[in-house]
Amino acid sequence: MSAAAVIGRAAASIEVEKLSRHFDGLKAVDEISFSVGHKEIFGFLGPNGAGKTTTISMLCTLLKPTSGRATLNGFSIATQQDEVRQSIGIVFQDPTLDDQLTARENLQFHAMLYNVPREEREERARRVLDMVGLGPRARDKVETFSGGMKRRLEIARGLMHYPHVLFLDEPTLGLDPQTRSAIWTHVHELRQEYDITVFLTTHYMDEAENCDRIAIIDHGRIAALDTPGNLKHGVGGDIITMRAADVEAARAEIREKFNIEAAVTEVDEGDRTGGKRVRLEVPSGRTVLPQLLKGLATDVQSVSVREPTLDDVFLSLTGRQIREESADKMEFMRTRIRARRMRR
């Protein structure tokens, strides 16, 4: 089977039907179904432990599903493992480069493992390295690279065999903001240049906006699947948040007088003032707010109006903020250790 033979076999790049994976009774992935079109940038968004990596592992044939089926580029993940593997490039959360080898050697070995013809290896290595801006560093040992450079090299490596689908598992985790935005530029570029479908996972809301479509995943299930714009639209206009002396009283009053179901939420520690807020979704903040302030007897201390973000989408779908979990201490440590390891 040559690398060229596996390209362009199916209309949809990824097709998933009722895919599940259980670990000792825990449903890590619970009957998810979706399909990803050719050249689409498709995002899996959800907190840590939602089932993102498990899904990727199954689609990459590293993990056997408990039930359900999936095809990748038309090949079944259950019965056509080698064909699936030849069709995909993967960048894992943790670096998988050999840092005692040079960038070029890492790419060469990869090309050999993936059956790239000998006469093309050199040329392809140069092309992918130039794309991620590592051309001048081709002959340097990977251990001298920064975390961002390693991630870029891994993306380049994933492209060496011209895969049909590129998987990126948390591609920007542990990277500084500048490098993050550089990675996103590459992702958009490579769709143009390599005619490729990108499947990625992230728990950064702002980054998910880079996707054509997003599946919001929580507790192993897909809670919503749409374009970022439509998802935000679905929240229902604008978000009003109020700080009040008595939030419960304010909420009751809003329900009574305006017939709007408001929620009381805990503001995460990122906000200096902290504490509880009344939060409501209204079709148009500009028209509702003046009436609201005029009509309320409860003392309102401050108020803000904004357009919904994907954070709000997640909140309205699951009743939780995505950051609650990622701010978890253990996870923070893990991320730190990972970042340090990547810098090594």
Which residues here bind another protein, judged by CB under 8 A? 60-62, 81-83, 85-86, 90, 92, 94-101, 105, 109-110, 112-115, 341
CB 153 within 8 A of CB 137: no
* Residue 157 vs 186, nearer CB to another protein: 157
* Residue 32 vs 60, nearer CB to another protein: 60
- Smallest distance from another protein to CB 255, Å: 53
* Residue 24 vs 271, nearer CB to another protein: 24
What is the C-alpha to C-alpha distance for residues 261 and 271, in angstroms, rounded to an integer? 24
Do strands 197-202 and 213-218 pair parallel, antiparallel, or not at all (unpaired)?
Answer: unpaired
* Residue 67 vs 115, nearer CB to another protein: 115
Find how far residue 313's CA is from the centre of its chain.
15
E strand residue ranges, the chain: 12-23, 26-37, 41-45, 67-72, 75-76, 88-91, 165-169, 197-202, 213-218, 221-226, 238-244, 263-266, 276-282, 300-306
Q: And the tokens for 109?
A: 């070995």
What is the C-alpha to C-alpha distance for residues 162 and 177, in angstroms, rounded to an integer? 28
What is the C-alpha to C-alpha distance for residues 185 and 169, in angstroms, rounded to an integer? 17
* Residue 105 vs 226, nearer CB to another protein: 105
- Smallest distance from another protein to CB 1, Å: 8
* Residue 20 vs 61, nearer CB to another protein: 61
Task: Map residue 4 onto helix, strand or coil.
Answer: helix
* Residue 17 vs 94, nearer CB to another protein: 94
- Smallest distance from another protein to CB 104, Å: 12
- Smallest distance from another protein to CB 188, Å: 25
Task: Map residue 289 onto helix, strand or coil.
Answer: helix
- Smallest distance from another protein to CB 239, Å: 41
- Smallest distance from another protein to CB 109, Å: 5
* Residue 165 vs 242, nearer CB to another protein: 165
- Smallest distance from another protein to CB 230, Å: 33
What is the C-alpha to C-alpha distance for residues 175 and 105, in angstroms, rounded to an integer? 24
- Smallest distance from another protein to CB 200, Å: 16
Q: Which residues contact 256 (CB under 8 A, 6 or more apart)?
A: none
The residue length of the chain stands at 344
Task: Map residue 165 onto helix, strand or coil.
Answer: strand
